[in-house]
Amino acid sequence: MSSSPTPELLDKLAERLGPHLLRRDAFRGEATVVVAPQAWLETCRFLKEDPELAFGLLVDLTVVDLQALGGSPRFELVAHLYSIRKRHRIRLKTPVPEDQAQVPSLTPLWKNANWLEREAWDMFGVRFLGHPELRRILLYPEFEGHPLRRDYPLRKRQPLVAERDVEEPRSMVSEPVRYPVDPRFKTFGV
């Protein structure tokens, strides 16, 4: 069973972050750390590369729109990290203001951040600086707006898009795969 990092490790993280640590909570065995946006990438790098923490797996990355709650700033970027070696997890958050909805990309640290960040941009409009291919992943390119924002109109009509052909996947194997036959397992007379 996984747990949250020990209080000593959270103290080490707090010491490392200094004034960039905005808040830390431990509730029901779940640790949450809120950092300043300018410390987002460096904090993630530290959490991954420090041998005592070893958060090698980015489990999820999403955005929360706090507009309905009167939150300021409007968005909160949330990453869930897990350490396979240490068997502990942590939730990392950073506030993202609406007028500057951008944070550094985590793709240099975790390859799966590529798709997670594309989804966050597609649904909420938060940009990830340094992302190798920031484009829509769930919606078509002509879609206007970001549908998971609280102010997105429920009855908004999207522009009609002409039907188009979809490319065939290039990685399809066109010839059968032949496996070597082990003579010890060869059946005779069949």
* pLDDT tens per residue, range 136-172: 999 988 889 999 998 888 888 888 778 777 776 665 5
The band of 26, judged by pLDDT with boundaries at 50, 70 and 90, is confident
Q: Is 25 left (phi over 0), alpha (psi -120 to 50) or beta?
A: beta
**Is 97 a residue whose pLDDT tops 60?**
yes
- The total domain count for the chain is 1
For residue 157, the model assigns a pLDDT of: 85
Residue 62 lies inside a defined structural domain of this protein:
yes
Task: Give the structural domain span for 145.
Answer: 7-152
Answer whether 146's CB lies under 8 Å from 124's CB: yes
For residue 1, the model assigns a pLDDT of: 58
**Is 95 a residue whose pLDDT tops 90?**
yes
Residue 172 lies inside a defined structural domain of this protein:
no
3-state secondary structure of 134: coil
Mean pLDDT of the region 24-32: 87
Residue 137 lies inside a defined structural domain of this protein:
yes
For residue 9, the model assigns a pLDDT of: 80
Residue 127 lies inside a defined structural domain of this protein:
yes
CA contacts within 13 A on the Cβ side of 155: 0
CATH code: domain of residue 58? 3.30.460.80
Amino acid symbol at 116: L
Buried b (16+ CB within 10 A) or exposed e, 136-156: ebeeeeeeeebbbbeeeeeee
> How distant is the alpha carbon of residue 123 from its chain centre?
13
**Is 190 a residue whose pLDDT tops 60?**
no
Answer whether 84's CB lies under 8 Å from 57's CB: yes
Residue 69 lies inside a defined structural domain of this protein:
yes
Contacts of residue 106, defined as CB under 8 A and 6 or more positions apart, other chains included, come to 41, 44, 58, 61, 79, 113, 117, 128
Q: Which of 76, 80, 75, 88 is nearest to 5 (CA)?
A: 88
Residue 20 lies inside a defined structural domain of this protein:
yes
For residue 174, the model assigns a pLDDT of: 60
Residue 160 lies inside a defined structural domain of this protein:
no
pLDDT digits (tens, 9 = 90+) for 58-80: 999 999 999 888 878 999 999 99
The band of 53, judged by pLDDT with boundaries at 50, 70 and 90, is very high
For residue 171, the model assigns a pLDDT of: 58
Residue 98 lies inside a defined structural domain of this protein:
yes
pTM: 0.81
